[in-house]
């Protein structure tokens, strides 16, 4: 039997252990169902892309993984999500769970603390007090988020006063400071210029060696550049999960997938 390069790619990814297992996930806000019938596995060291139009349930998906439904009395999550094989519904220490998952949301949130304290916040929440250790973490995370050169001389100025693009990279640095096992990026490039976007994309490719990444993006080409496998969410359903290249050139199980990636919609 001949194994095509594409099959080989699938096998390489799915040969890794499952990092995040989702089965029959259903999310609703009150009576409104935002997402249903999602079953997929995300493997270690994978960049998993999620594409789809607005209101498809992409952000709700991320929130459910992070158990943010705890803070929204209107949000209900049914089904099963496992992280490292453990059911996240049954995790007693949700804070420990969230600490292992870094999140970057589309609108940058520079906390009204200094740039340094923004990045040092998560280590401090874990109980890290050594200044030298914090210095190392702050510099490493800011460098990785391609922000260090711009802010190294003003680490004490307010993070919330940086420009939009800088704040977004600060948010990424903050997520990295958690030392996450899973990094979830929700349209991170929305407030970032193309050059910086490319630099962050390079960083993400390097990070794949250490962490699993879920990349929600509006830019179909960004998913194509980065993601090993990609899912298409449409109207609250997951209509396609496959090796990214297949969505563009190979077999797809739903014709709407091809329409979407080629921009033939509506």
Partner 1 sequence: MFEATQLNRRNETTQKLFRFALGGMTGILILPVILILGMLIWKGAPVISFEFLFTGPTKGMTAGGIFPALLGTVLLVLVALLASVPLGVAAAIYLSEYAPDNWFTRAINLAIINLAGVPSIVHALFGVGAFVIFFRFGTSILAASLTLAIMTLPVVIVATRESLQAVPEAFREACWNMGATRWQTIRRVVLPNAVTGILTGVILEVSRTAGETAPIMFTGAAFFLPLLPQSVFDQTMAMSLHLFVVSTQVPNMPEHLPYGVALVLISMVLLMNSLSIALRMYLRGKKKW
Query: Which residues contact partner 1 (rule: CB under 8 A)?
Result: 66, 68, 71, 73, 95-103, 105, 107, 109-113, 121-122, 124-125, 158, 160-161, 171, 174-175, 178
Least separation in angstroms between CB 75 and partner 1: 13
**Angle ∠(47,76,241) on CA atoms, nearest 5:** 30
Least separation in angstroms between CB 86 and partner 1: 16
Q: Roughly how many angstroms between the first and final C-alpha of the chain, as a whole number?
A: 41
Looking at the Cβ atoms of 60 and 178, the one nearer to partner 1 is: 178
Burial 126-160 (b: 16+ CB within 10 A, else e): eeeeeeeebeebbbebbebbbbbebbeeebeeebb
Structure tokens at 175: 């997520």
161 three-state secondary structure: helix
Looking at the Cβ atoms of 40 and 158, the one nearer to partner 1 is: 158
Least separation in angstroms between CB 117 and partner 1: 9
Least separation in angstroms between CB 103 and partner 1: 5
Looking at the Cβ atoms of 18 and 111, the one nearer to partner 1 is: 111
Least separation in angstroms between CB 31 and partner 1: 18
* Tokens 């563009």, located at residue: 248
Looking at the Cβ atoms of 177 and 189, the one nearer to partner 1 is: 177
Which DSSP helix (H) or strand (E) runs through 103? strand 101-104
Looking at the Cβ atoms of 34 and 97, the one nearer to partner 1 is: 97
Exposed, middle or buried, 18 (CB in 10 Å: 0-12/13-18/19+)?
middle
Least separation in angstroms between CB 249 and partner 1: 36
Looking at the Cβ atoms of 22 and 119, the one nearer to partner 1 is: 119
- Whether residue 49 contacts residue 42, with contact meaning beta carbons closer than 8 Å, is answered with no
């Amino acid at each position: 039997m001949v194994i095509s390069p594409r099959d080989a790619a699938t096998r390489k990814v799915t040969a890794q252990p499952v990092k995040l297992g989702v089965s029959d996930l259903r999310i609703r806000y009150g009576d409104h169902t935002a997402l249903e019938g999602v079953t997929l596995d995300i493997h270690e060291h994978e960049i998993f892309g999620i594409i789809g139009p607005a209101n498809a349930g992409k952000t709700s998906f991320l929130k459910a993984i992070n158990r943010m439904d705890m803070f929204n009395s209107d949000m209900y999550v049914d089904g099963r999500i496992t992280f490292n094989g453990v059911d996240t519904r049954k995790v007693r220490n949700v804070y420990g769970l969230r600490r292992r998952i870094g999140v970057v949301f589309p609108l940058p949130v520079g906390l009204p603390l200094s740039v340094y304290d923004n990045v040092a916040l998560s280590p401090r929440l874990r109980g890290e007090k050594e200044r030298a250790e914090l210095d190392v973490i702050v510099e490493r995370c800011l460098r990785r988020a391609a922000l260090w050169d711009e802010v190294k001389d003003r680490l004490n100025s307010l993070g919330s006063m940086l420009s939009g693009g800088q704040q977004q990279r600060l948010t990424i640095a903050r997520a990295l400071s958690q030392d996450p096992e899973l990094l979830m990026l929700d349209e991170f490039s929305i407030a970032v210029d193309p050059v910086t976007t490319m630099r962050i994309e390079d960083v993400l490719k390097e990070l794949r060696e250490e962490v699993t990444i879920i990349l929600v993006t509006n830019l179909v080409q960004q998913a194509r550049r980065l993601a090993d496998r990609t899912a298409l969410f449409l109207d609250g359903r997951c209509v396609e999960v496959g090796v990214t290249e297949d969505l563009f050139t190979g077999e797809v199980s739903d014709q709407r997938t091809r329409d979407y990636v080629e921009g033939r919609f509506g």
